[in-house]
Structure 1
Amino acid sequence: MIKVSILYPYREGGRFDIDYYCGTHMPLAARLFGASLKGWSVDAGINGGPPGSPPPFVAAGHFLFDTVEAFYEVFKPASDTLLADIPNYTDGGNGTILISEVKVAV
């Protein structure tokens, strides 16, 4: 199984609408990805470690797929729609993508 993570860096004064992201954008992506998507989640950054420090990322969206190929197969036709939605929840661009292999899940 692989996980596709989109990491949105924290920026002082930056705008990120976590409610829109969780309630509209991620469900849109899930609908577009269909049965290939095995699950999704969102992390909202709250701290960077030391007390009172900002988080390195304001949010991270995660999608689970069986293979990288399964992700690309559904992402390519959905990409224009998803990229066009980004300004609705952030003024910080499209984030950094990390594709990783899930080694342990509990």
Structure 2
Amino acid sequence: MIKVSVMYPKGDDTTFDIEYYKTTHMDIVERTMKPSKIEIDSGNDGPYVAIGHLYFDSPEALAAGMGGSEEAMADLANFTNAAPAMQMSEVFER
């Protein structure tokens, strides 16, 4: 399984509409990127205002999902002025 974490850093002038992110933006992500699972961390403390985790069952599913990410990327300005950082990780479960 592959996890894509999209991390939105906090800053003095950072704006972030968590309700829009949880509903409208994640609806776009789900429809266009088709992850098998989505998790959202809302940061109360720490360096990020929010982190979205998208899970894909295979490298092929990840590649297809990233190919559909244009609409989701274009939607960023509708809920934040933060430039997100991304990390892709292979997930191992025991």
Could you tell me the TM-score, scaled by structure 2's length? 0.90
Q: Where does structure 1 lack aligned partners over 5 or more consecutive residues? A: 48-54
Give distance in 1, aligned partners of 2:26 and 2:36.
Answer: 13
| Pair 1:85-2:75 in alignment | yes
Q: How many Å apart are 1:17 and its aligned residue?
A: 0.6
Give distance in 1, aligned partners of 2:92 and 2:65.
Answer: 23
Q: CA RMSD in A?
A: 1.4
| Pair 1:27-2:44 in alignment | no
Give distance in 2, aligned partners of 1:58 and 1:68.
Answer: 28
Identity %: 37
CA deviation string 1:33-74 (max 9, x = no partner): 23xx21001101011xxxxxxx21110001111123321212
Q: Tell me the equivalent position of 2:44.
A: 46
Q: Tell me the equivalent position of 1:100.
A: 89
Moved over 3 A (4+): none
The counterpart of 2:65, out of the listed 64, 74, 80, is 74
Q: Tell me the equivalent position of 2:47.
A: 56
Q: Secondary structure at the match of 2:75?
A: helix
Q: Secondary structure at the match of 1:43?
A: strand
Could you tell me the TM-score, scaled by structure 1's length? 0.80
Larger radius of gyration: 1
Q: Supply the AA of the counterpart residue of 1:7.
A: M
Q: Supply the AA of the counterpart residue of 1:42.
A: I
CA deviation string 1:73-97 (max 9, x = no partner): 1221x2221111000010112x111
Q: Supply the AA of the counterpart residue of 2:2.
A: I
Check whether the contact 2:5–2:51 (CA below 8 A) recurs between aligned residues. Answer: yes
